[in-house]
Amino acid sequence: MPKEKPELSDAMRKKLSGSSREKKPISGTKFTIAISSAKGGVGKSTFATNLALALKQNGCKVGLLDADIYGPSIPKMFGINEKPKSDGQKLEPVIKYDIQCMSIGFLTDEKTPMIWRGPMVTSAIKTFTQQVNWKDLDFIIVDMPPGTGDTQLTFSQGIEMNGAIIVSTPQEVALLDVKRGIKMFDKLGVKILGLIDNMSSFTGDDGKKYAIFGEGGVKRTAEEFNKEFLAEIPIDPNVGKFGDLGKPIVESDPNNKISQIYVNLAKKIKSIYF
């Protein structure tokens, strides 16, 4: 835990949240960071869960909000099967690995698809941001659904977002959507902390590095839009294995090279805010 948490000046808060004062912070939370990808399947939820755990390793109190209403991943990736308790007014987050978690997946059957219209999604997001008893959090990490839809709008219009991180693979087809995502956050006035190149390459047993999805595309996109390139995270089958087992790699194997990338990144993010 950081010991002293200095009050943010108005100027600093504005710089981090981008704009308007009508936006409210999520109660019980100092900073809200969105993890976004324009396309599905690029490792956004894997990144969100591991970053949350890496921030915890850096001494922060962390919450994880699964805002992917149609495809919640947090219950599986954190191995959570319990339902959140309620005091009749507010939901209690489910605590796992010292992280306060909330997901629509805690409230529904895993095998039942969510067939909801936009207004219902908006209402679920409002419940998760206003009716959950988040407690004393330094950061809340929001796992956004892919794309640029209702959830992104609901968040960026009503909630003080202090930063966004965009995750992508280096593939051209993913990068096209990343460009749309960057423009959306810029337009909505949410500060983009930077871009992540996930599944950047694979190193085989022969020691050779294979650029499976191409090379350098995320970095080039970051440069093109004048955004920071935060990190590249290679492909490691253990990442998927531990995710499927409900204990992400940063928690399962903190000394792994990939876990170290996450811990260093979390340190950098913490230093932006504290």
Q: How far is the CB of 45 from ligand ADP (least distance, A)?
A: 3
**CB contact set of 75 (below 8 Å; sequence gap of 6+):** 66, 81, 103, 105, 106, 110
By C-alpha distance, which of 234, 230, 259, 78 is closest to 166? 230
Is residue 239 part of the contact set for ligand ADP (CB under 6 A)?
yes
**CB contact set of 171 (below 8 Å; sequence gap of 6+):** 213, 214, 217
By C-alpha distance, which of 188, 162, 187, 167 is closest to 272? 162
Is residue 152 part of the contact set for ligand ADP (CB under 6 A)?
no
- Say how many residues touch ligand ADP, by CB under 6 A: 17
Among 199, 230, 250, 269, binds ligand ADP (CB under 6 A): 199
Is residue 182 part of the contact set for ligand ADP (CB under 6 A)?
no
Q: How far is the CB of 34 from ligand ADP (least distance, A)?
A: 13
User: Edge-to-edge strands of the sheet including 229-233?
Assistant: 94-96, 99-103, 62-66, 137-143, 29-36, 163-168, 192-198, 229-233
Cβ atoms within 10 A of the Cβ of 70, count?
Answer: 15
**Do 170 and 214 contact (CB within 8 A), yes or no?**
yes
Is residue 42 part of the contact set for ligand ADP (CB under 6 A)?
yes
Is residue 73 part of the contact set for ligand ADP (CB under 6 A)?
yes
Stretch that binds ligand ADP, among 118-126, 213-221, 239-247, 261-269 (CB under 6 A): 239-247
Is residue 29 part of the contact set for ligand ADP (CB under 6 A)?
no
Among 240, 245, 260, 264, binds ligand ADP (CB under 6 A): 240
Q: How far is the CB of 47 from ligand ADP (least distance, A)?
A: 7
Is residue 43 part of the contact set for ligand ADP (CB under 6 A)?
yes
Q: Which is nearer to ligand ADP, 2 or 40 (CB)?
A: 40
Is residue 235 part of the contact set for ligand ADP (CB under 6 A)?
yes
Binding site for ligand ADP (CB under 6 A): 37, 40-46, 73, 198-199, 233, 235-236, 239-240, 243
